[in-house]
Amino acid sequence: MAIITLSEALLKSLSATDSRIIRDKVLCGFCVKANKRSRTFLVATSVRGQQFRMTLGYWPLISVEEARTLAAKVLRDCRAGQVPMRKPAQFPTVRESLKAYGEAKGIKKSSRARYDSLFRTHFGECVEADRKLTHI
């Protein structure tokens, strides 16, 4: 287990064979779990004598500084003896996810119209009611 100041450059330089937990020298309890496929920011500490771990996010989806800021908030609660609440995931609606999928994949306008038609036909009440994906 290495104790190093975490930075973007450090995470970029890790090889695919590095599989370890790297603890931050600046903020005690903040670390990165590095493996072959991903770099995961997490908080590893204790609350009222019990081990506590919380995943904060994945690099490069969030930067080191953003993760450090999130970790500081979580660690503040831990030091006060409160178990931090994991916030519920915010899922998109069916309409939002269909639009995001089309944009991400670069689907032509005519194909998007066809997909919209299929979703209205088969999932009409979900699309029209703007239901979250968790309700399907």
- pLDDT interval class at 43 (50, 70, 90): very high
* pLDDT number for residue 95: 75
**Among 5-19, 27-41, 47-61, 109-123, which stretch is predicted with the lowest mean pLDDT?**
5-19
pLDDT digits (tens, 9 = 90+) for 53-94: 998 888 878 888 888 999 999 999 888 888 887 665 567 777
In a domain, 84, yes or no: no
Considering the domain architecture, whether residues 74 and 99 belong to the same structural domain is answered as no
112: Cα separation from own chain's centroid: 28
Q: Is residue 53 part of a domain?
A: yes
What are the beta bridge partners of residue 42?
31, 55
DSSP symbols for 35-89: -SS-EEEEEEEEETTEEEEEEEEEETTS-HHHHHHHHHHHHHHHHTT-PPPPPPP
Q: Do 34 and 63 lie in a common domain?
A: yes
pLDDT the model gives residue 26: 85
119 in a structural domain:
yes
Q: How confident is the model at residue 131 (pLDDT cuts 50, 70, 90)?
A: low
> Which residue segment(s) compose the domain that 119 sits in?
94-135
Helix, strand or coil for residue 31? strand
- Looking at the structure, tell me whether residues 75 and 100 fall in a common domain: no
